[in-house]
Chains A and B, each alone.
Chain A
Amino acid sequence: MINVKFFARLRDLLDTDSVDLNSESLHTAKDVIDQLIKDYPHWQDALSSTQWLVAINQTMAQPNSPVADGDEVAFFPPVTGG
């Protein structure tokens, strides 16, 4: 299982803060996005945007970064703290 989290504007757009995905056939963060769009077709517009950043196990990552069973994968907008 891969736990997927959404934050800030993206969470509002999807109206969801977290979903679990079967990790089978998911190899990269990009695969996670593709699977989410398959499972939740109405999220396609929101998830297709290239602006979202990704973190794997709470460390910044890239779309082609590898994911594995048990990982926490988070998608969120560019950060605006400080």
Chain B
Amino acid sequence: MKLYVAVQTEDFAQSKLYRQLRQDCPDIGAIVTFTGLVRDINLDTTVGGLYLEHYPGMTEKALNAIGEEAGQRWQLQQLLILHRVGQLEPSDQIVFVGANSAHRGDAFNACEFVMDYLKTRAPFWKRETTVEGDRWVDARASDAESAKRWQRDDRD
């Protein structure tokens, strides 16, 4: 599996990443992509924008580890994980995950797994701008629950 990880302030073009997933792989039958966007509402409060902080070095290391694990669990030809940092506005793209595989099941599973693990294991932190001032976003129990379902698979 070819794994490509990037942490960047710049926006990304889905079409370019999709083209990369289609390249040089005559044996792939499925491409699954996920794109995360900034919402303008969180916990019933209007969000004017958010700042994404990360831990340079560890973030890339964590994303690579998550990607490698996905590659061990499913048959993938390529896996792309791209996450933005810095100042973002509502409806901006934050994160892209793209996987290609011979069959769709592996590509779907890999994308979901990467997102669930990324949300609980990769050192990113969101600080939202609201009318009441800036606030750090709290981790959600539901994200931890989503990540846990992949651990249950370990016991299979």
Contacts and interface: CB of A to CB of B under 8 A. Distances in A.
B118 interface: yes
A76 B125 contact: yes
How extensive is the interface on chain A, given as a class?
A: 10 to 19
Main secondary structure of the interface of B (DSSP, over half): mixed
Name the residue in A5, A8, A9, A79 with the highest tally of chain B Cβ atoms < 10 Å from its Cβ: A79
A8 B137 CA distance: 10
A77 B124 CA distance: 10
B15 to A, nearest CB: 22
Interface string A1-27: 000010111001000000000000000
Interface string A51-73: 00001001110000000000000
B54 A81 contact: yes
Interface in B99-146: 115, 118-127, 136-140, 143
Interface residues of B, number: 29
Interface stretch (B19-27, B55-63, B71-79, B148-156): B55-63
Given A7-B55, A8-B53, A74-B55, A81 B126 contact: yes
Given A79-B122, A81-B118, 15 more contacts: A58-B55, A60-B62, A74-B58, A76-B55, A76-B125, A78-B138, A79-B125, A80-B119, A80-B139, A81-B83, A81-B95, A81-B124, A81-B125, A82-B83, A82-B119
